[in-house]
Amino acid sequence: MRQLTAQMVEISGVRNSEVRNVWIALIGALVFSAFAATSIVISRIDGPIAAIWIPNALAVAILLRTQPTNEIPFYAAIFLSSASVNLVMDFATVQAVIFACANLVEISIAVILSRKLCGKHIDMESMRDLGRLILAAGIIAPAAAGVIALAGLTQDGVQPLIGWLTWFITGGLGMILVVPLALLFADAITLKDRYSGIELGSNGGRAGRQANRYRRR
């Protein structure tokens, strides 16, 4: 009986984890799509924010803080949303797929390297972790992804070096500016919830002690 109960609890935990993974993937895809479409529109009118690519940085921040047990649904959702946005924005089919692959590579390299260099939980109050995060997500990841993106950029007649530098700079700036801020924001929300829970528990304990005191009287 105990073994059956333990198995049921384990199955329930696995299901809850799978549902959480799907929710994280859906939220990530929605966030990525919204910011990707906005960034592309702004870049086409040469706005002041056109030099920063934000969607990949937000995807990295979501993965680093939510820590899904299975990240395949998240990456699949990001790839599909990236390719879909590119197609809606009138990119050629081949370009849309190439850019989606480059985005996926950039996000995955940033996440994997950041975890390897900083550990599972990146401390944004540590200058060492911040420097390693910038190295992994802001330099290495966009530099590698830019090589893949060249296959799509050169189809528009862009010179290889200029195309690579454009991808590297826009992606790198997004990672350097957005990821640390997003992680700090997530940490602030977590601390607020944690302290709220502690305060609630303290108030509940205080109320219980007062009730017991009145009963004794």
Indicate the pTM of the whole model: 0.81
130 within 8 A of 104, measured Cβ to Cβ: no
Contacts of 63 (CB under 8 A, 6+ apart): 28, 71, 74, 107, 111
**Cα dihedral 143, 181, 107, 160 sign:** negative
Structure token digits, residue 208: 């219980």
CA–CA dist 194, 196 (Å, integer): 5
105 within 8 A of 144, measured Cβ to Cβ: yes
pLDDT (tens digit per residue) in 60-115: 999 999 999 999 999 999 999 999 999 999 999 999 999 999 999 999 999 999 99
CA–CA dist 83, 157 (Å, integer): 21
Per-residue pLDDT of the chain (217 residues; tens, 9 = 90+): 555 444 444 555 567 889 999 999 999 999 999 999 999 988 887 644 457 899 999 999 999 999 999 999 999 999 999 999 999 999 999 999 999 999 999 999 999 999 999 998 899 889 999 999 999 999 999 999 999 999 999 888 889 999 999 999 999 999 999 999 999 998 888 765 555 544 434 444 443 443 344 334 4
Contacts of 81 (CB under 8 A, 6+ apart): 29, 30, 32, 33, 36
CA–CA dist 207, 200 (Å, integer): 10
CA–CA dist 130, 26 (Å, integer): 28
25 within 8 A of 74, measured Cβ to Cβ: yes
